[in-house]
């Protein structure tokens, strides 16, 4: 499976760069490239498993890149953001950014649309070190290990991103019984796939890539997803969700924010949209929340 995100990816970058409310601005190149690779990988994984719920791929870092998160819906609507808490060098390696003290983690969450009462989303978490305890330096190595450990699936990933494209190639061995040659075929296809260079993945069209890698193989090609079935940027934030978050803070905390400023302002990390609640809005939120849950303790 091969994905090349152009408009979707540049929209994510454009929104981040123009999000002045958080004061963060555009990503440093190494952060951008890691996030782009995660976006490509999460899109491939969601299309591959055909799961009826959101797939959330996260790297929880212990360095300047504290969090990189991608959320992909079953219809491939997706959003992504990264939280950077310190300076990132232009030539920073992955482990310098996210695995400074070897506490970095990669988490994949599958959150079903239809949940049974009390059902929790499924989550798998792996450290960012290999079997020898050495920090891993590529997003693809981390995810390949995740798929092996958590899903027992042999997976090969080639990922690349720059300021215009986030792209990825996924090769996965299909489950098969009692066929010795399946291993051999997978190994051969995997090695061919891994020979794809970053520049090739970023610059060549799909036909050329497939031909370069697999010209000696019989390739049966499927129609690419188009328009409304194709991956695209969409954010699921809303004023209601932000309101619930403010209620979750509690009345005392909300009032202490309002004592210092006229509004509570919340900007969405994913799309940059700003939500503003003044003192009247906030008072209404808490009245409404108490009417809805008469049994809950009154904030003091």
Query: Which residues of the shown chain bind Zn ion in the complex (CB under 5 A)?
Result: 235, 237, 268, 270-271, 273
Question: Which strands, in side-by-side order, build the sheet including 53-60?
Answer: 122-127, 105-112, 53-60, 65-72, 77-84, 232-233
Nearer to Zn ion, 159 or 267 (CB): 267
Nearer to Zn ion, 233 or 270 (CB): 270
Cα dist. 42→39, 68, 279 in Å?
5, 12, 40
27 within 8 A of 13, measured Cβ to Cβ:
yes
CB of 68 to Zn ion, least distance (A): 17
Q: CB 182: neighbour CB atoms within 10 A?
A: 14
CB of 233 to Zn ion, least distance (A): 10
CB of 35 to Zn ion, least distance (A): 16
CB of 71 to Zn ion, least distance (A): 11
Nearer to Zn ion, 141 or 237 (CB): 237
Nearer to Zn ion, 211 or 276 (CB): 276
DSSP 124-144: EEEESB-TTSPBP--HHHHHH
CB of 244 to Zn ion, least distance (A): 14
First and final CA of the chain: distance in angstroms? 55
Nearer to Zn ion, 213 or 235 (CB): 235
Given the DSSP bridges, would you call strands 65-72 and 53-60 parallel, antiparallel or unpaired? antiparallel
């Amino acid at each position: 499976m091969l994905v090349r995100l152009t408009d979707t990816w540049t929209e994510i970058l454009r929104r981040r760069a123009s999000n002045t409310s958080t004061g963060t601005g555009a990503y440093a190149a190494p952060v951008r490239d890691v996030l782009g690779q995660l976006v490509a990988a999460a899109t491939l994984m969601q299309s591959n498993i055909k799961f009826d719920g959101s797939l959330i791929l996260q790297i929880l870092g212990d360095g300047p890149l504290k969090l990189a998160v991608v959320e992909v819906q079953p219809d491939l609507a997706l959003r992504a953001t990264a939280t950077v808490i310190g300076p990132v060098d232009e030539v920073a390696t992955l482990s310098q950014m996210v695995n400074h003290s070897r506490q970095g983690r990669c988490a994949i969450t599958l959150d079903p649309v239809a949940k049974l009462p009390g059902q929790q989303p499924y989550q798998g978490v792996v450290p960012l070190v290999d079997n020898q305890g050495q920090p891993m330096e590529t997003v693809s190595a981390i995810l390949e290990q995740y798929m092996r450990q958590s899903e027992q699936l042999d997976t090969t990933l080639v990922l690349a991103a720059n300021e215009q494209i986030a792209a990825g190639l996924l090769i996965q061995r299909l489950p098969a019984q009692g066929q010795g040659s399946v291993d051999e075929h997978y190994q051969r296809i995997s090695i061919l796939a891994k020979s794809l260079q970053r520049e090739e993945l970023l610059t060549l069209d799909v036909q050329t890539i497939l031909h370069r890698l697999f010209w000696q193989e019989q390739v049966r090609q499927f129609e690419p997803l188009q328009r409304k079935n194709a991956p695209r940027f969409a954010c699921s934030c809303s004023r209601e969700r932000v309101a619930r978050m403010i209620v979750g803070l509690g009345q005392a905390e909300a009032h202490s924010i309002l004592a210092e400023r006229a509004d509570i302002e919340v900007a969405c990390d994913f799309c940059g949209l700003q939500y503003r609640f003044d003192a009247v809005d906030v008072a209404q939120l808490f009245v409404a929340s108490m009417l809805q849950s008469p049994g809950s303790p009154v904030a003091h």
